[in-house]
Amino acid sequence: MSGGRRPRGFFGKRLYQLQHAPRPVFRAVLASGGSGVIFMLIYLVYDLHVERALASGIAPSLIFGGGDLRTEAAALMVICTSTLGSLLTYLIVPQPSAHGGATVRSGWSALLGLFASLPIAYIALVVESQFLKPILLAL
């Protein structure tokens, strides 16, 4: 008898890891993804407002905020997403304890949220600028 099943390949291992993610990592990605979606939608509204105002010939000083501040708004979106993602992860991901009784918060949970939120914020910017904005401008 040869034993059990044959070992998984590279993609089989990655698929298994994706389907069985650890609970703290799942919570961190979910918290960061939620905050990324919220701030992306706020940025999308501002970006569409500026784009339509510039296309219609309105003076840049009359645009909300006093001009075309999309670069600053994108940077603010990344900062807000990473801050809120870190804070939510700090609040919902407790540090594991040996006895399982008390819930202990740790800075490591916030750091996990930061590491999860930075790529999500930039992915949200790409989705906004490459997919949602062209679709909504065409309407």
Please tell me the total number of residues recorded for the chain in this structure: 139
- Within a domain: 73: yes
Kindly report the average pLDDT of the chain as a whole number. 87
pTM metric for this prediction: 0.80
Domain ranges, residue 61 = 22-138
94 Cβ contact partners less than 8 Å away, ≥ 6 residues apart = 103, 104, 105, 109
Task: Please tell me the predicted confidence (pLDDT) of residue 123.
Answer: 96
Task: Please tell me the predicted confidence (pLDDT) of residue 96.
Answer: 67
pLDDT at 80 over 60: yes
- Within a domain: 42: yes
72 Cβ contact partners less than 8 Å away, ≥ 6 residues apart = none
- Domain count across the chain: 1
CA distance 53 to 33: 30
